[in-house]
Amino acid sequence: MNGATAGIGFIQAVACDLRFAAKGAKMTVAFPRRGLPAENGVSWLLTRLVGHGNAADLLLSGRVVTGEEAVGLGLVNRAYDADELLPATLEYAKDMAANCSPRSLAVIKGQLNADWTRSVEETRTESLSLVREMIGKDDFNEGVKSYLEKRTPRYKGLSHDPDSAEPLRPF
């Protein structure tokens, strides 16, 4: 986020898995200052993202926070000087693309989404099931091999027919 983020733009930003901001970026829900309720599930998202107290602060006051303050609230992952924001964000993405298994990322994304509503025991059970499914697969073998050989992994990408009505499955 660079510049101003408010209302629905704020909701779109907090719905992202990772958020980077310029230190001086300004963000607000703005709803109570416009006579509106917390829209489009933002109260649900914020409560889970920053905790009840911080969500209440942001939603009830409609106050503006900077990117720098947003890091402390857990609203953004990192804040950079404005001229460093894009290069730092791209470097983060390049590192993920070069070093993380696309299959593992897809599975972890599914876990992040599903585990919000699961108990810790359900989460643990599901994660052990996923480990059993993934151990011995190509990406696991490549991840271990590249680590032992001290080189960048060469993971295969996920394939998906864009014309298919079926959602992308990690296995």
29 and 80: one domain?
A: yes
Assign residue 84 the CATH number of its domain: 3.90.226.10
Number of domains the chain contains: 2
Backbone Cα Rg of the chain: 19
Give 26's strand partners: 4, 66
Comparing 7 with 57, the larger pLDDT belongs to: 57
58 and 125: one domain?
A: no
What are 92-118's pLDDT values in tens digits? 999 999 999 999 999 999 999 888 889
What are 16-39's pLDDT values in tens digits? 999 999 999 999 999 999 999 999
Query: Domain range holding 44?
Result: 4-93
121 and 146: one domain?
A: yes
| Alpha helices, H only, the chain | 7-14, 42-61, 67-73, 82-99, 102-114, 120-134, 138-148
14 and 81: one domain?
A: yes
Prediction pTM value: 0.82
What are 48-79's pLDDT values in tens digits? 999 999 999 999 999 999 999 999 999 999 99
72 and 104: one domain?
A: no
